[in-house]
Amino acid sequence: MQIRTFIIDSFTDQKFSGNPAGVCLLDVEINNELMQSIAAELNLSETAFLGPTDQLDQFSIRYFTPTVEVDFCGHASLASAKMVLDTMDMEKVSFITEKNLKITAQKSEEFIEINFPLYPTRPYEMEVEVLDAFGISNPIEIEFCSELGMAVVEVASKEELIQLTPDYSKAIKATQELNELVVTTRSLDSAYDFYSRCFCPWIGINEDPVTGAAHSVLAKYWSEKLGKKEMAAFQVSKRGGFLFLRILDNHNLQVRSKAQIVLVGGIQL
């Protein structure tokens, strides 16, 4: 048996930037252990596994990091949409996650528009040891998203954000409550509304290049601070990537971006 497999760079208009995701198209069900082994073999931050449903334009979707399964991954969802819309010549597609979350995507000129959930946050008291591990001494605000186990830490400037050099082993020892820590700052230029970086050593990813799920949290956070429903965001990792965000309602976010297919092949079983 061969599983059609793709590597796709998400949130970018250039190959070898943005966030690479694996996408595996399944004709038959395979077990969790095999999906986890494939994700470990590909060794990307996430690999999405798409399965058939009773609708031609809908797929089941599951997400695996090299070490664990996660409930939702934005960049692997965008990568999956890119694969389906481009290789199957479709104008729109939807995915159903293991938690019964429905994600829809469609072509929009040279962009893909994809709908993500919108998550709220609450104030959060973070252990000093965690902040020390990331080199953050004077956070402006710290919030927590219970649905994703994600902390959001706002810092004063883009320069401070870029210069962070986390001690990941120290961060892992400092807490096991987090899946991800997102550090963000308000933009002072006209290109974007805010910048961010996303760190996930607790789930096997030190720094995620461009994180859709993080923007499902950051969109609401910055919307309330900036008084905007439409925003442009950039994640300032080494690979970097952009997202145009539009809040649809209290629970739904539309993301507009691009993705690039860089590898097409198959896994032989």
Q: Three-state DSSP class for 221? A: helix
Predicted pLDDT of residue 75: 97
The answer to whether residue 94 is domain-embedded is yes
134 shares a domain with 216: yes
**CATH number, domain with residue 37:** 3.10.310.10
| Residues known to be catalytic | 46
Question: Which residues span the domain enclosing 243?
Answer: 122-247
**How many C-beta atoms lie closer than 10 Å to residue 213's C-beta?**
30
**Residue 79 region, left (φ>0) first, then alpha (ψ -120 to 50), else beta?**
alpha
181 shares a domain with 107: no
Task: Tell me the two tokens of residue 33.
Answer: 């252990």
Taking the C-alpha atoms of residue 151 and residue 164, their distance in angstroms, rounded to an integer, is 16
Predicted pLDDT of residue 204: 87
131 shares a domain with 232: yes
Encode pLDDT of 179-198 as tens digits: 999 999 999 999 999 999 99
The pTM for the full model equals 0.93
The answer to whether residue 40 is domain-embedded is yes
35 shares a domain with 68: yes
What domain count does the chain have? Answer: 2
72 shares a domain with 137: no
Tokens 């991954």 locate to: 73
Taking the C-alpha atoms of residue 262 and residue 225, their distance in angstroms, rounded to an integer, is 37
Predicted pLDDT of residue 89: 85
How far does CA 54 lie from the centroid of its chain? Answer: 27
129 shares a domain with 90: no
Encode pLDDT of 60-88 as tens digits: 999 999 999 999 999 999 999 999 999 99
The answer to whether residue 100 is domain-embedded is yes
* Residues of the chain below pLDDT 50: none
